[in-house]
């Protein structure tokens, strides 16, 4: 059984066109390369990948593959998951949860 690492997941998504990186800001999600600030509700979550640390199950991370329906930009959003998640990331995850494709 092949276990994908966080960096392998980001590399795979980048190879599939998710070339920007998103980060949470107080007013929304910033596409770092494009420099554009988006409302989280304008982004579709096309994939969610969760990772646990091998030696510490509390060492968790998540990678989201995001796609803007308005202008087509695609990128990844990588953040700690669980107790290590900051308040701003938690707020954005809450706003993004209804945008998960297929749910």
What pLDDT is stored for residue 99 in this prediction? 79
pLDDT at 58: 61
The predicted structure's pLDDT at residue 60: 86
Residue 100 token pair = 């998960």
Write down the pLDDT at residue 32: 97
What are the CA-CA distances from residue 66 to residues 2, 3, 96, 97 (Å)? 24, 22, 10, 12
Asked whether the beta carbons of 95 and 87 are under 8 A apart, the reply is no
The pLDDT of residue 34 is 96
- List Cβ<8 Å contacts ≥24 apart for 55-59: 58/82, 58/83, 58/84, 59/84
Mean pLDDT by groups of 10 residues along the chain of 103 residues: 82 97 96 96 94 68 94 95 87 87 60
Strands 36-38 and 28-31, how do they pair? antiparallel
By the 8 A CB rule, do 32 and 25 touch?
A: no
Residue ranges of domains in the chain: 6-99
């Amino acid at each position: 059984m092949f276990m994908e690492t966080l960096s392998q997941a980001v590399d795979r998504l980048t190879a599939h066109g998710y070339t920007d990186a998103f980060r949470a800001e107080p007013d929304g999600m910033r596409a770092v390369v494009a420099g554009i600030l988006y409302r989280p509700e304008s982004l579709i979550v096309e994939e969610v990948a969760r990772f646990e640390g091998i030696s510490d199950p509390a060492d968790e991370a998540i990678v989201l593959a995001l796609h803007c329906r308005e202008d087509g930009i695609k990128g990844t959003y990588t953040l700690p998951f669980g107790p290590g998640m900051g308040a701003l990331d938690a707020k954005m995850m809450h706003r993004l949860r209804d945008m998960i494709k297929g749910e």
